[in-house]
Structure 1
Amino acid sequence: MSKIRWGVLSTANIGRTQFIPALLRAKNSEIIAIASRGSKAHEVAKEFNIPRAYEDYNALLHDKDVDAVYIPLPNHLHKKWVIEASKQGKHVLCEKPATLTSDEVIEMVQICREQNVKFMEGFMYQFHPQHDRVKEIITSGEIGEVKLIRASHSYYMENRDTNIRMRKEMGGGSLYDVGCYAIHAIRNISHSEPIEVRAHSQIDLVSGIDLSTHGYFDLANGIPAFFDCSFDMVRRQEYEVIGTKGTIRVPFAFRPDFNGHVGLVIVQTTGSTREEKIHGDIFLLEVEHFSNAILNDTHPINSGNSAIYNVRALEACYESIQAGALVKV
């Protein structure tokens, strides 16, 4: 097998605008099927020349020619369809957050292992090479000893009456939607896990979801970290690493595709500022990484424990918000 044959569950916007085009660009992948609840799959299949369109998710999962599926469904549906896909022998790339509780992620990961299929949570941002460059700079000692990490992800949400991210029962809220990126970036860059969390939210009185959340982590390696996320602020997608000798700022951390796929790493030390521009097609890199893991029988990043740990951190944030207190992870 030289290419992984993909199916996509749903006609979600992220799939149509980003993931399917990435599949079409990938050297080791091809898309052969798409499914929707209703007839929209036929429209999308025609748009992208996808050979097969199904009006039922299970019908796609029973297609024996499909090797892997991409699941961009609403958050509360992730567990069900990851499990259903794995039971049909499909490898699964599921959009973030993997699901809504750590118990659910543990169950999903365990079933995927039992079915001998690969599972990966879709944090596409991490495939951009700018983040490896940040780690290289930290390791080099240029900014000294790391003393603090800050991460922010926000945008101002329009059309709130119709947006599923405003529906609590579907896993809505800024923490699940964009805060999960900031938390993942802190974990990814620090190579450490939060052991204590303090978080606070501005709650929408009608829907009950968090419009904005900000929080503090104590990491296991002793580094403190702050994060914030919001549906109520201007678009920001950045993190900063502060050391004893300087700082590293990454202003296009999570969606460098909004900047022509160009990431920017800004290093500032006493009397010196340097900017490094780094190109990377995050959705293409994500697709090819997961397909290569299947083809070569290797472990994809963000599988198993990483997905569990990220959702545990989210859970701890929500627990802290409800309790109004510091919470151990």
Structure 2
Amino acid sequence: MTQSTPDSKVVRWGFIGAAQIARKNWKAVRMSGNGVVAAVASRDAARAEAFIHDCSMEVPPVVIGKDGEATLARPVAFGDYQALLDRDDVDAVYVALPTAVRKQWVIAAAKAGKHVLCEKPMAVHADDAEEMIAACRDNGVEFMDGVMFDHSARLPSVKEVFADAQRFGKMRRIQTHFSFCADDSFESGNIRASAELEPHGCLGDLGWYCIRFSLGAANDELPIAVSGRAVSVYDDGSVPSEFQGELKFKNDLTAGFFCSFRCVNQQTATVTGDRGYLTIDDFVLPFVDAESKWQLHSHELQVDNCRWNFGRHTTYGAVAEHASGEADSQEVRMIRSFGDAILNGKSNDRARDIAIKTQRVLDGLRRSDAENGKWITL
């Protein structure tokens, strides 16, 4: 059970870091129905003020009173992270800092009694991640990493397909691809190409989602071994700009992925059974729509002497769910779910467990790459 439960009826959020993704989560807090942004801290107060100003122009931060009236509640800006953590009117923090400094501030937040939603990858090494989780557990606060698709209404429906012995059969292979083509300024101007700030490069930024999807499809089981190679790196030779990985699970299930800062936008997942295979074209960030979709295929080859007919047999599935910025979208579900755990004092053990497993797989892949793709036992 969580020990730190706020006195208020909503979770009062503090944002640590003003990264671009934090703007999306600003709106998610507003749409969640159980949270409000109370404070924002950045490298300096002016940067935090600018973030609050820009976000407020599009999504004014409000608190809904018991009478149903909305009251404007402008967050306080800080140029010091610890000053935000020292406030009594902050219940939870969203940590959107570079990976290299997340450990320090997640542990500081836990010691301050703040629940922690942390951007991914959660740490540089699995040992660091274990320390972060231990600090949260020891201080009675919740921890979750910011994988939005984990909270999509699509995933439970897709898992029902995986369990369908007639249409899907036994799961044999998981394959994911997540990429975008960075511009010419990316290597010199973006922290995701920085060995000092984001040492895992595309593997941490994009591969984390591929690993997480594979673990989820495999019922959260940890692979027994992994192998990975950086296909290309940035000039310092240590930050992957393209990475490919392989995961071996028990029962002969395998998974593979490719992630890249050099290929066109693609977010595809294919899960193959011995009777059918399921495809998702947008497994990380759903296409703009009011539905999240997938396809199930069971194509059939018929051979009759000189005639070879490969018949298409595809069915389409969907759940009602907006892609972004609505009460039912996956990032809002993430914030709401985290808030519910805090407000109801119910610990989310799965959130901690799956984050650690993802980090352990990432660590194994980096070790494998350093040893020329050697299989690493986890």
Q: TM-score, normalised by structure 2?
A: 0.83
1:230 shift after superposition: 0.7
2:267 to 227, 234, 237: 237
Matching of residue 179 in structure 1 with residue 204 in structure 2: no
Gap runs ≥5 in structure 1: none
Matching of residue 253 in structure 1 with residue 283 in structure 2: yes
Aligned partners of 2:120, 2:251: CA distance in 1, in Å? Answer: 25
2:191 corresponds to which letter in structure 1? I
1:264 shift after superposition: 1.6
1:41 to 48, 62, 69: 48
**Worse overlay, 318-327 or 272-281:** 272-281
Larger Cα-atom Rg:
2
CA RMSD, 1 decimal: 1.5
1:153 to 157, 178, 182: 178
Task: Report SS of the residue matched to 2:88.
Answer: coil
**Worse overlay, 168-177 or 78-87:** 168-177
Contact map agreement 2:233 2:242 (CA 8 A) in 1: no
1:188 to 186, 195, 216: 216
Q: Call closer, same or farther: CA 1:96–1:301 in 2, change over 3 Å.
A: farther
Contact map agreement 1:120 1:301 (CA 8 A) in 2: no
Contact map agreement 1:83 1:111 (CA 8 A) in 2: yes
Q: Deviations over 1:3-45 (max 9, x none)?
A: 11111011111112x1001111111111111111111111222
Aligned partners of 1:122, 1:43: CA distance in 2, in Å? Answer: 23
Gap runs ≥5 in structure 2: 1-7, 62-73, 300-311, 323-328
Aligned partners of 2:371, 2:21: CA distance in 1, in Å? Answer: 34
Tell me what 2:249 maps to.
219
Q: Deviations over 1:234-256 (max 9, x none)?
A: 11112111111111001110011
Aligned partners of 2:173, 2:294: CA distance in 1, in Å? Answer: 17
**Worse overlay, 197-206 or 208-217:** 197-206
Tell me what 1:67 maps to.
91
Contact map agreement 2:234 2:240 (CA 8 A) in 1: no
Report the identity percentage.
Answer: 30
Contact map agreement 1:261 1:282 (CA 8 A) in 2: no
1:277 shift after superposition: 2.8
Task: Report SS of the residue matched to 1:319.
Answer: helix
Q: Call closer, same or farther: CA 1:5–1:205 in 2, change over 3 Å.
A: closer
For 1:19-34, list aligned pairs within 5 A. 19-34=25-40
Matching of residue 272 in structure 1 with residue 313 in structure 2: yes
Matching of residue 144 in structure 1 with residue 157 in structure 2: no
1:222 shift after superposition: 2.8
Q: TM-score, normalised by structure 1?
A: 0.95
Q: Deviations over 1:165-214 (max 9, x none)?
A: 00112124110110010011000111121111111112325132111111
Tell me what 2:335 maps to.
287
Tell me what 2:11 maps to.
4
Contact map agreement 1:193 1:220 (CA 8 A) in 2: no
1:144 shift after superposition: 1.1
Tell me what 1:56 maps to.
80
Contact map agreement 2:193 2:234 (CA 8 A) in 1: no
Tell me what 1:202 maps to.
231
Tell me what 1:326 maps to.
375
**Worse overlay, 277-286 or 175-184:** 277-286
1:318 corresponds to which letter in structure 2? R
1:81 to 97, 105, 108: 105
Task: Report SS of the residue matched to 2:132.
Answer: helix
Task: Report SS of the residue matched to 1:216.
Answer: strand
Contact map agreement 1:153 1:238 (CA 8 A) in 2: yes
Contact map agreement 2:234 2:241 (CA 8 A) in 1: no
1:268 shift after superposition: 0.9
Q: Deviations over 1:240-295 (max 9, x none)?
A: 11111111001110011x42364221111135211223324111010000000101
1:27 corresponds to which letter in structure 2? G
Q: Call closer, same or farther: CA 1:132–1:197 in 2, change over 3 Å.
A: same
Tell me what 1:297 maps to.
345
Q: Call closer, same or farther: CA 1:269–1:253 in 2, change over 3 Å.
A: same
Aligned partners of 1:274, 1:285: CA distance in 2, in Å? Answer: 27
1:327 corresponds to which letter in structure 2? I
2:364 corresponds to which letter in structure 1? A
1:316 to 361, 364, 369: 364
Q: Deviations over 1:36-84 (max 9, x none)?
A: 1111111222332533111111111111010000011111111011011
